[in-house]
Amino acid sequence: WVSISVGCNNTCTFCIVPHLRGKERDRRPVDVLAEVEALVADGAIEVTLLGQNVNSYGASFGDRGAFASLLRTVGAVDGLERVRFTSPHPAAFTDDVIEAMARTATVMPSLHMPLQSGSDAVLRAMRRSYRATRFLGILDRVRAAIPDAAITTDVIVGFPGETEADFQATLDVVEASRFASAFTFQYSPRPGTPAADLADQVPHEVVQERYARLTALTEQISLAENRRQIGRTVEVLLASGEGRKDRETARLSGRAADNRLVHLAVPPSADPADLPRPGDLVRVEVTHAAPHHLVADSALTAGSFDVRRTRAGDAWASRGSAEHTHPAPTAGPVALGLPLIRV
């Protein structure tokens, strides 16, 4: 994870970030690039560019097109195979970013685009400076340029003043958006935010009932979208900690290019010394789907299981060897489920 900015210039009424972190402060592109190059030199093959609103990057130094340019520059770093970013804001998301995603081979076909609500009235109360039509238009343009893009989102249920009609508008936009997955939240007042003082707080039992309907819809859509992946060959970047049941199911886990979680079986007769390591890439065929993950058991029937060992896998193996010789202290950095390259 490489931070490109800290803070936020937006004034969403439910969010505490501007109060805690202040106005957006952008790192210079040369500094971001230097950090990415250092990580790649240490063995990293994937980075995620991180900011509260990545597509407003550059405003603080007068370059409105800086984020698209940064994507292209980072994507061209020798040895880097996967570039991701999070999170954009629909109000500031521009076509030059879509073009950079489509034309830069190392920028992965995944996009997290927070919806929050499908109701224009609720979006206005949230101070989200876009409306449902603009949001859906962004998704249409992304899919036209990147047909296999997996788009995920955030949705808040029960924002103050939300009516049943407002909630139905959210369901309608979610249905039309066909998200690969959605992070759904029940609104609750947060001290220090303007929304906490708004009238018409929605009763908790109403919020819970709407939340149940929303999650049922998002899981139904996620399952349908994941089932469309069955039969496809995907390249999975393995990571430690992605599959909580890997040991008992004798599977490995990682992320496909579109960031879907994939649990994959290993060939029954495989020599343990030949198995891929966290950080290695494996091409497998998707055989089953669930709302929140894919299963690729092609290796069990002599199907695809093509391993490409990488520098990231080498770094993971070297670190494991070093930790075996010199045990690491009990406290340390959090790897967020990805191979920890730098210690």
* Strand duo 150-157 + 251-255: pairing: unpaired
Mean pLDDT of the chain: 92
340 is a domain residue: no
87 and 128 inside one domain:
no
98 and 184 inside one domain:
no
332 is a domain residue: no
Assign 19 a pLDDT band (cuts: 50, 70, 90). confident
61 and 83 inside one domain:
yes
CATH, residue 114: 3.30.750.200
CATH, residue 280: 2.40.50
142 and 99 inside one domain:
no
Cβ within 8 Å of residue 333, ≥6 positions away: 340, 343
310 is a domain residue: yes
Q: Is 81 helix (H, G, I), strand (E, B) or coil?
A: coil
155 or 7, which is more confident: 155
Range of the domain at 4: 1-108
78-113 pLDDT, tens digit per residue, is 999 999 999 999 999 999 999 999 999 999 999 999
341 is a domain residue: no
127 and 209 inside one domain:
yes
What total of structural domains would you count in the chain? 3
Query: What are the strands, taking DSSP E only, across 257-309?
Result: 261-265, 281-285, 288-290, 293-296, 305-308
Least confident of 199-213, 247-261, 316-330: 316-330
Under 8 Å between Cβ of 184 and 140: no
Assign 166 a pLDDT band (cuts: 50, 70, 90). very high
Q: Is 263 helix (H, G, I), strand (E, B) or coil?
A: strand
Q: What percent of the chain has pLDDT over 70?
A: 93
Distance, in Å, from the CA atom of 175 to the CA atom of 178, rounded to the nearest integer, reads 6
180 and 144 inside one domain:
yes
CATH, residue 70: 3.30.750.210
338 is a domain residue: no
Under 8 Å between Cβ of 13 and 198: yes
274 and 295 inside one domain:
yes
205 or 336, which is more confident: 205
Burial of 8 (0-12, 13-18, 19+ CB in 10 A): buried
115 and 102 inside one domain:
no
277 is a domain residue: yes
45 and 134 inside one domain:
no
175 and 246 inside one domain:
no
Provide the whole-model pTM. 0.90
134 and 92 inside one domain:
no
Q: What is the token pair recorded at 230?
A: 């069955």
339 is a domain residue: no
193 and 141 inside one domain:
yes
